[in-house]
Chains A and B, each alone.
Chain A
Amino acid sequence: MDCTQIRDAFVSGARPEAQAREHLASCPQCRELFERDAELGRNLAAQTTRPLPSSDDLFEQIEGKLARETGPRAWLRSRPSPLRFTLLLLPLLLVLLAGGLLGQRADLEHYPMQRVALLLCVYFLAIALAFGKQLSESPRGHALGDYVGLLAFALAVPALAAFAPATEVSRRIESSGAFGCFGYGALLTLPIALLLWALDRDDRPSLRTVCLSAAALGLSANLLLELHCGNGDWAHVLGGHASLGVAWLVAWAVTRRLSRARGRP
């Protein structure tokens, strides 16, 4: 006999007696059920027989919604999770490559490549982690830490980078203004944002989606700008680069609020 059979016996009213005694000897949680004339076991069993909320037309409602699951978004969000993850990372790599090649920073050849490689790796790993968490179907737990931590990283690291010592070459560089960099980063990450929205299976963006999407998109934009702009001035980096994480956070939060308002009866 095991814990499930003990539970079933309580629910059905059978008498497990002899076999249960052996199980109870090694199972402290089931012993609790039998304390005081099996009071707790019987009380919990009584809860399982209580009436359920009516669900008469629920199946028809679900069928109706499933019938509307057509089109590109329905196809994309119903792909297996590893494929959805790949469909998100590949375009990002292409955008990074295209952005890096087309709008390359003027001082790239003078820039310490180890520093660029390290930055690329750290940012890219954090982005992949955010995408992976967002697309995963695994249990999510009660803690906010797993996604708020990533968001804090995505907002703080580019902002801290604004105060990193600039190289001699980057000090002499003349690049586009902060607004230009902001537009360049936002424009190139927009397709990734749309893809992220299309691949997300939730109809109403969750707080988790808002945080993880903002983290991934903010870091993607900063990675692109790292390859594009060599301006090390702290005001420029804060206003034109690091602010993109905040901008994506605001954009997703507004989307969430609008979807909540639309979903309200």
Chain B
Amino acid sequence: MAAYIAGDKAAFRELFRRYTPLLLRAMARDLRSPEEANDLVQQTFLHLHRSRLDFEPGRKLKPWIFTIALNLKREYFRRSKRRHETSLDDDRVAEPFEGPRGQERSDASRETARALSALPAEHREVIELHWFGGLSFPEVAEALGSTVAAVKVRAHRGYVALRARLGDDAPVPHGIHEGKPSIEGSK
């Protein structure tokens, strides 16, 4: 970021390369089309450019970028007076995996995406930033202007609600990872 503030154009390309996938993954889930998602990312980088002199050296960049993106996203929903009636998720979960196990994974993915979309915004936001934006909980707290303890409580409530929504009959995507994490006695 320091190089970018100093006028290094390559540094901006690097920022774009590093943060665009994270922003798209975390922010685009509630939007109706890829164009809307790209527009939001574009606005985020324009805003970042305009506010680059506000960036304090030594501060973490990732929460700051996400603060800008979240402010823009909230305004986007206020402007369009809606919140993800039809999200990108509905299209993307329909993308098939191969084979019967793939179908199982696709079902689980769709169920999870739906359950996530149905969460209250304050819970969903924390989970999306942590899981899809790659932010740690202290970074999520910074991005949202909240405390780490409050953010963890919101994540916990979100997880509990997600598990309740997924219920007992939701398909579990077995074998998504070869070495899936499992802790004996944690059940």
Q: How many Å from the CB of B143 to the closest CB on chain A? A: 7
A69: B residues at CB distance < 8 A: 46, 49-50
Q: B181 and A59: CB pair below 8 A?
A: no
Contact A43 B137 (CB under 8 A): no
Is A113 part of the contact surface with B, judged by Cβ < 8 Å? no
The answer to whether A137 and B25 touch (CB under 8 A), given A37-B172, A43-B173, A47-B112, is: no
Closest-CB distance, B97 to chain A (whole angstroms): 10
A47 is contacted by which of B113, B143, B172 (Cβ under 8 Å)?
B113
Please give the number of chain B residues whose Cβ is less than 8 angstroms from any Cβ of chain A in the complex: 76
CB distance from A241 to the nearest CB of B (A): 31
Q: Which of A27-35, A169-177, A242-250 contacts B (4 or more CB under 8 A)?
A: A27-35
Bound complex: CA A137 to CA B65 (Å): 10
Docked pose: A54 CA to B41 CA in angstroms: 12
Contact B162 A137 (CB under 8 A): no
Query: Please, what's the 1-or-0 string for B110-151, where 1 marks a CB less than 8 Å from any CB in chain A?
Result: 011100100001100001001110001100000111100000
Mark each residue of chain B from 173 to 187: 1 if its CB lies under 8 Å from any CB of chain A, else 0: 100111111110111
User: Which residues of A, 39-97, contact B by the 8 Å Cβ criterion?
Assistant: 39-55, 58-59, 61-62, 65-66, 69, 74, 77-81
For B105, give the chain A residue with the smallest CB separation: A46
C-alpha gap A9/B178 in the complex (Å): 12
Kindly list chain A residues whose C-beta atoms are within 8 Å of the C-beta of B34: 53-54
What are the residues of chain A within 8 A of B187 when measuring CB–CB?
A: 34-37
**Judging by beta carbons under 8 Å apart, are B181 and A206 in contact?**
no
B38-94 CB contacts (< 8 Å) to partner A: 38, 41-43, 45-47, 49-54, 67-68, 70-71, 74-75, 78-79, 88, 92-93
Q: Which residue of B lies closest to A21 (CB)?
A: B183
* Chain B residues near A15 (CB-CB < 8 A): 179-182
What chain A residues lie within 8 Å of B43 (beta carbons)? 203
CB closest residue in chain A, given B132: A48
B53 with A80: CB separation less than 8 A: yes
Determine if B11 is an interface residue (Cβ-Cβ < 8 Å).
no
Residues of A within 8 A of B1 (CB): none
A33 contacts across to B, CB distance below 8 A: 159
Residues of A close to B160: CB separation below 8 A: 32
User: A206–B53 contact, CB under 8 A?
Assistant: no
The DSSP consensus for interface residues of chain A is helix
Provide the A1-25 mask, 1 if CB < 8 A to any CB of B, else 0. 0111011011011111100110010
Q: Do B137 and A3 touch across chains, with their CB atoms under 8 A apart?
A: yes
Q: Size of chain A's interface in residues, with CB distance under 8 A?
A: 70
Are the C-beta atoms of B131 and A79 separated by less than 8 Å?
no
Contact B136 A4 (CB under 8 A): yes
Q: CA A15 – CA B70 in complex, angstroms?
A: 33
* Distance between Cα atoms of A3 and B70 in the complex (Å): 22
- Give chain A interface residues in 153-189, CB to chain B under 8 Å: none
Option from A20, A62, A78, A140 in Cβ contact (under 8 Å) with B181: A20
Are the C-beta atoms of A28 and B156 separated by less than 8 Å? yes
Q: Give Cα A81–Cα B21 distance, bound, in whole angstroms.
A: 28
- Residues of chain B within 8 A of A204, CB atoms compared: 79
Q: CA–CA, A38 to B180, complex, Å?
A: 8
Contact of A137 among B51, B105, B177, B183 (CB under 8 A): B51
Residues of B within 8 Å of A53, CB to CB, are 24, 28, 34, 37-38, 88
State whether B179 touches A13 (Cβ < 8 A).
Answer: yes
Contacts of A41 in B (CB 8 A): 181
Could you jot down 5 A-B contacts, CB within 8 Å?
A39-B170, A47-B131, A53-B28, A58-B16, A206-B79
Q: Which B residues have a C-beta under 8 Å from some C-beta of A?
A: 12-13, 16, 20-21, 24-25, 28, 34, 37-38, 41-43, 45-47, 49-54, 67-68, 70-71, 74-75, 78-79, 88, 92-93, 95, 105, 108-109, 111-113, 116, 121-122, 127, 130-132, 136-137, 143-146, 152, 155-156, 159-160, 162-163, 166, 170, 172-173, 176-183, 185-187
Beyond A21-B183, A53-B24, 14 additional pairs, beta carbon < 8 A: A9-B181, A15-B181, A39-B163, A43-B172, A45-B131, A49-B176, A61-B38, A62-B46, A79-B53, A81-B54, A138-B145, A141-B144, A142-B121, A208-B75
